[in-house]
A = this chain, B = another copy of it.
Amino acid sequence: MPLVRIDAIEGRTELELAAIGAAVHRALVECFGVPERDRFQVITEHRRGQLVYSRDYLGIERTDGLVVVQVFLSTGRSDEQKKAFYARAAGLIEKETQTRREDVFLSLVENTRGDWSFGNGAAQYLTLPRDEWK
């Protein structure tokens, strides 16, 4: 269910981008209970100058290695779960890719279960019992 948009400045290898996506997904699975196979991500690279960011907002030193991760997902996660997700996503990205944790920008946008169709024109989260979400 989450639809994840990842934006970064061009120059990373495909492998590196894939590793960033995988790290975000693992954090979603671990911290939000997202099903393992529920992975949908749109990655877009941008020329320098087309990903605009503050180098020091809130005292964090950001570089051109910035990745902007925007997660659209159904409502229902607490602030505590969100904190755990941010920490885990940034931690995994730093550990498993070349990206620094200072350069991980994360943001969530919530909708509801009726706002998703995963194919075939059905609203699966309204019609399928939860134990079949896999």
Contact = CB atoms under 8 A, between A and B. Distances in A.
Interface string A42-85: 11111101111110111010100000101010000001001100
A52 to B, nearest CB: 4
A53 B62 CA distance: 29
A111 to B, nearest CB: 5
A107 B102 contact: no
Q: How many monomers of this chain does the complex have?
A: 3
A119 B101 contact: yes
Given A14-B47, A42-B50, A42-B68, 18 more contacts: A17-B49, A18-B52, A37-B56, A40-B53, A40-B54, A43-B49, A44-B44, A82-B114, A83-B126, A86-B122, A90-B117, A90-B121, A104-B117, A104-B120, A105-B118, A107-B115, A109-B109, A110-B111
Interface of A: 3, 7, 14, 17-18, 21, 35, 37-47, 49-54, 56-58, 60, 62, 68, 70, 72, 79, 82-83, 86-91, 101-111, 114-124, 126, 128, 132-134
